[in-house]
Structure 1
Amino acid sequence: MMRVISCVTVDHNLWLVLVAALVCAAGCWATIRLFLRAHEAEGLQQVGWHFLTSVCAGSSIWCTHFIAMLAYDPGAPITFDPVLTIASLFIAITGTAAGFIAATTHAPRIAPIVGGVIVGLAISGMHYTGMAAYHVDGIVEWNTTYIAASVLLSVVFACLAVSVALNERLSGRNYWAAAVLVLAIVSLHFTAMAAVQVTPLVTRGAATDSLALHAMALGVAVAGLIIIGTGLASYLIDDRTRTEAFQRLHHLAMNDTLTGLPNRANFNDHLDREIDRAGELGGKVAVVGIDLNRFKEINDIWGHGAGDQTLKDLAERMGALLQEGEFVARLGGDEFAGVKRMKSQSDLVDFISRLEAALFAPVRIGDIETATGASLGVAIYPNDAHNRETLVNNADLAMYRAKANITQNVCFYEQAMDEAVRANRTLANDLRDAVENSQLDLHYQVQTSVSTGDIRGYEALLRWKHPTRGNISPAEFIPLAEENGLILPLGEWVLRTACAKAASWDHPYKVAVNLSPVQFAHADLPKLVHEILLETGLKPSRLELEITETTIIADKIRTLNILRRIKALGVTIAIDDFGTGYSSLETLRAFPFDKIKLDRSFMSEVETSPQAKAIIRAVLALGQSLHIPVLAEGVETHSQLSILRAEGCNEAQGFLLGRPAPFGEIFALMHNDEVATTMMSLPAPAQAVA
């Protein structure tokens, strides 16, 4: 050890030793940084980073050695073999490349050791090749013990440096690994220099010019630092690029691309933090669910471009009104949500008032000015919920209540009132499962001739037996299906099933199927009807589609065009619930219906109300004058049937003539023409709803 210390302090120029140490430290720090980047990269990028790592490492080792050699004073003239000098640089670069590549292979336990050994041997190989290029005019003697010690130190410290660099659990591993790599290079060099003993053969006066050697050493240092700086600059540029890319990706992941507002994931994270903060400090947090009222109308009338611009304008307004402790996000579509950190109710009221002002103010789209309006639902932590999921859900329930109430734009969560909304949403989910799992069934109710009692056809009626709640009334689940978009697959299933069953009947009776207004708005009905008729083999004349007046009123021109296309297929069209709409006569004039179905409400009062009887008589007379047969619904007594027969009604339908029943029971009775008596003998279902 004393010989090594003596070699450093006595035989070397300490200023050049410090320059060598500076180059070595800078090079090792840059090398470890580049090595770790190579370890993280894949494919061609990894190859590129390994190349930069090896160039930086090899240059650092070679420059450190060369400067330290120039700092060494052997007391005799020296020269350098150019071939061996260049060869030593090549060994340093290729050797460290092999070592660092080996250290990043898929063998985490042994790879750092193997890689470290190769790096240590590369440092040793570079040094002793460089020493072979170092020609001194004197007798050179070597101490093999120091040579072995130098190689061992280099290998041990290099292994440790690589292992430390790859240890992700170690804090500050970059700096520790760089420091150990410096030890690997320095300990090798100065221990190896202590192994050499030079006996000069000429006097000092003939020695090489020391100033020239010092200038050369400084030149090598500058060149080495430039190479190291180039590698480090590449690392820093890539690091900046990676950071910016990460920030961009993080922004895209946490913000809505259209409006720039935080998205659902960002909203969830923010709300979790606010709830935690409120829990710790004993505060409150309000969630405001926001759903635009007329956004679909804007999309339908002016196009999606106008809808997007509307969303951007409203998002910009809401973003501009935010104060400390306030947050607004776009959750998707036309749905937004706000979060308010509140101390008192007045804080929340002020926040909601500002939101209303922004949402209800007119929006300009080009030369058009419109307004969307919105429905807002509010739930407060911890009053209404104790976790994020329940809090957001309760705010949604309150928002749906506001949407259903034309007089209120803002509703606060109220457990008693919103439980009904929650039950409806649960039932809607159950209905979706029922549609997907074929848990629905069709019942059929007979339609007969009033004068003869002959069967004219059957109306297909949808039934749902809930696994836990039993029979659910169509009056309850059909509106749910229409609200949740389930009516389209549901209506298609009913139409296809009814046509298939009717095609299997021995007698060519008609089958009547009700259509929802939603089916006219969102489906190509003529195409669907045509496909089902071809698929099931049912004659078009045996299919009768029933619609209500409200279906036509919603979009008269489009609906009548669809009905004409369906009628062109040979399918008959009946107007259902006649007499309860607002424009019955105009509807009959606009479209030649094949049948009028008189609403059941008139039959329930025909025996006691002269007005009801007069209305029935008027409708029957209207049907006769227009040559349109009339079917009376809701016939439940013989007296009602007698009145219809006396007034000249064409067809009737009701519990008196036959209750809705499954297809199997209908098929068993299909051959009996005395339906008026036979169908009455069927047992009444648990819930008879036509």
Structure 2
Amino acid sequence: MSALDAWELPTSCGIWCWYSNATAAFVPWLSQSSVPHEQLIEQNRRFDAALENMNQGLCMFDADRRLLVWNKRYLEIFGLEADQLHVGMSQRQIIEILVGLGRYAAGTTVDALSEGTRTSLIEGQATSILRELADGRTVSATHRAMSGGGWVATFEDVTERRRNEDRITYMARHDALTDLPNRMALHEFGNGMLGQPMPGRSLAVLCLDLDRFKLVNDGFGHAVGDQLLRCVAQRLQREVREGTTVARMGGDEFVVLHRVKDLKAAEALARRLIASVSAPYELDGLRVEIGMSAGIVLSGEMDRDVTQLLQNADLALYQAKSDGRGTFRVFEPQMDESARARLNLERELREALTNERFEVHYQPLVKLSSNDVTGVEALVRWRHAERGLVSPAVFIPIAEETGLIVPLGEWVLRRACEDAKRWPAHVGVAVNVSAHQLRQRNFATMVFSILSESGLDPSRLELEITESVLLEETDANLETLHVLRSFGIRIAMDDFGTGYSSISYLRRFPFDKIKIDRSFVREIGEKPEAAAIIRAIIGLGQSLNMTTLVEGIETDIQRNAVLSEGAHEMQGFLFSPPRPAQEVDALFKVEHSKNKVA
């Protein structure tokens, strides 16, 4: 039976009708109405269908707050049986039933729910109120006042939508790979911690950067790299206490926000984090080892924005990586001054490149058995208007980091080929190539173009690369080197013996020359093992049919020592320091005249 059964209405006053599924409505109509009875029934049928197919639960109350209409969806949302509601019951009675059945979250009272409805209706417009249910769902209740009194209340289960919104909000503030807070959340947490200082405690900001991560990523693939980052995140979280924030800034950079009583505590944390992250990893059967560097800064009494602290900690991190990695450095004010000076130098470097304020000096490569010059190495110099000649050790790292090494390297190569074209045909020219240059897809094409423009025979050009070139994108770089060598260009490995895998790369690429690093030469006569290492490298080069050149020869003792071990060539101040192009021109003119007289 319908919930309207309790209403006794004379048919002379109008008609009443009830709807299936315990949905009821009172629809008064005058008996004199001109609308045919059949049309009324059809309209009521449509109204019934609309109510029963709503996605929202619905209740209608009159001006006395008594129930007139409800639908099936309302019963489903709140888990009510059809006979628990009836027309004419008050809204408070319904709320009492729901609270008594434990439908609302713990602590929800009848008075609070009633007051929420009253307040929303006073505001004069449809207002939604979120109701938390005991089973974890969230229901949005909207109240719309009707003219003449009463209101319509609709109820929508928004649990899934709320979860999706919460998930979107969470994802916007967290790193998808590691589930750590991201950059945006880090700033919120940091500013919050600064805004609520603790007596006797400072906020320590630690900027962390993984060492050798790129080698793992490139060598084993991004899947292993991602797995490694997740493992690093887990280790960092294990090493900190509750209330400490560990965030990922992107790439292989992390940040830790940690309250400490003094700098020693922050340093102890940095050591612990570095040790934990640097321990070996077992990833899908692979043993992986990396390291980590850290920069530390402590907040002061006036600090209220974490942005500056992050910048300072990053400067300290940069210093730690410059000092050899695998360690930490504490921010000092002069680091900020150094950073500004570096930015100025970068700006001036760009201007110098635009205005071609660079020079190429050349250091002779000498055949040990005859003391003849077989070639020269091109070394770039920056002639600064105020500083004079700026050391390459100062500006080359900046050029590498900013990418300026690509246009600068092209300029040096072009100038070296043009200069070499003036010298005797047996004299080659060696030009250093960085990993950034070789990474350019058009590098080989650019080299061929310069050779064509200058008219220099490709066999007279020697490109020197360091191990770092092969550590990055090995297959692509090796392919480029093979293309260059097939064109007649010679390829030399520079600074041999200072890297991790020099010997393994000799197996993968047939270098024409090995340049033994000067660090081994300095110790000849002081450490017996220095001569033994040089002997081994020279023997290796001979067995692979590669020319061996020893760098940094400054004394006759050093020259005689490497000559006795079988080295082919030398380079160093004993014969000549790097010289401007015009002095090299004069050198070859002198040699030419001597040969002519002979």
Instruction: State the one-letter code of the partner of 1:536.
Output: E
Shift in CA distance, 567/182, structure 1 to aligned 2, threshold 3 Å: closer
- Whether 1:614 and 2:560 are equivalent positions in the alignment is yes
Are residues 1:376 and 2:301 paired? no
In the alignment, which residue of structure 1 is the partner of 2:487?
Answer: 569
Q: Percent identity?
A: 24
- The answer to whether 1:589 aligns with 2:542 is yes
How much does 1:287 deviate?
0.4
Q: Name the structure with the higher strand share.
A: 2
Query: What's 1:660 paired with?
Result: 580
Q: How many equivalent pairs are there?
A: 447
Which of these residues, 283, 293, 296, is aligned with residue 365 of structure 1?
283
Counterpart position of 1:251: 170
TM-score normalised by length of structure 2: 0.57
Deviations for 1:136-173, whole angstroms, at most 9, x for unmatched residues? xxxxxxxxxxxxxxxxxxxxxxxxxxxxxxxxxxx979
Contact kept in structure 2, 1:573 and 1:593, CA below 8 Å: no
Structure 1 residue runs without a partner (length 5+): 1-12, 17-62, 94-170, 188-220, 624-629, 641-652, 679-690
Within the candidate set 435, 441, 444, 1:527 is matched to 444
Q: CA deviation at 1:183?
A: 8.1
CA shift digits 1:22-41 (9 cap, x unpaired)? xxxxxxxxxxxxxxxxxxxx
Which of 393, 402, 409 is the aligned partner of 2:320?
A: 402
Correspondence for 1:342 among 260, 268, 278: 260
* 1:466 CA drift (Å): 5.2
Structure 1: distance between partners of 2:258 and 2:145: 58
For residue 358 of structure 2, the aligned residue among 423, 429, 441 is 441
1:473 matched to 2:427? The reply is no
Give 1:384 deviation, angstroms. 11
Return the alpha-carbon distance in structure 1 between the equivalents of residues 271 and 409 of structure 2.
Answer: 43
Deviation at 1:340, TM superposition (A): 0.9
Gaps spanning 5+ residues in structure 2: where? 1-6, 11-23, 48-118, 128-142, 493-512, 521-532, 594-598
Shift of residue 291, structure 1, vs aligned partner: 1.5
2:123 aligns with: 175
Deviation (angstroms), 1:406: 5.6
> 1:355-374: per-residue Cα shift (whole Å, max 9, x none)?
34642444321233444342
TM-superposed CA distance for 1:585, in Å, is 1.0
In the TM superposition, 1:486-635 aligns within 5 A as 487-488=405-406, 490-496=408-414, 498-499=416-417, 501-502=418-419, 512-516=429-433, 518=435, 522=439, 527-528=444-445, 531-533=448-450, 536=453, 538-541=455-458, 543-545=460-462, 547=464, 566-572=484-490, 580=518, 581=520, 582-583=533-534, 584-586=537-539, 588-590=541-543, 592=545, 599=551, 601-602=553-554, 605-606=555-556, 611-612=557-558, 614-615=560-561, 618=564, 623=568, 630=569, 633-634=572-573
Measured in 2, the distance between the counterparts of 1:425 and 1:432 equals 10
Match of 1:81 among 32, 35, 58: 35
Native 8 Å contact 2:365 2:571 kept in 1: no
Q: Is the 8 A contact 2:429 2:461 kept in 1?
A: yes
Structure 2 letter corresponding to 1:306: V
CA RMSD of aligned residues (A): 5.5
Aligned equivalent of 1:309, options 227, 238, 263? 227
Greater relative CO, 1 or 2 (CA 8 Å, sep 6+): 1
Q: Residue type matched to 1:614 in 2?
A: N
Cα distance change, pair 357–631 in 1 and its aligned pair in 2 (3 A): closer
Amino acid at match of 1:186: G
1:200-235 alpha-carbon deviations (Å, 9 max, x no partner) = xxxxxxxxxxxxxxxxxxxxx9xxx9xx67xx45xx
Aligned to 1:23: none
Equivalents in 1 of 2:210, 2:372: separation in Å?
54
CA contact (8 A) 1:294 1:373 kept: yes
Structure 1 position 488, deviation (Å): 4.8
In structure 1, distance between residues paired with 2:32 and 2:320: 95
d(CA) in 2 for partners of 1:358, 1:433: 41
> C-alpha displacement at 1:341, in angstroms?
2.4
Q: What is the SS of the residue equivalent to 1:585?
A: helix
What is the CA distance between 1:271 and its match in structure 2? 1.2
Greater share of residues in helix: 1
Q: Which amino acid aligns with 2:580?
A: P
| Normalised TM-score (structure 1) | 0.51
- Tell me what 1:35 maps to: none
CA gap of 1:547–1:673, structure 2 versus 1, over 3 A, is closer
**Structure 2 CA distance, aligned partners of 1:618 and 1:511?**
25
Q: How much does 1:461 deviate?
A: 3.0
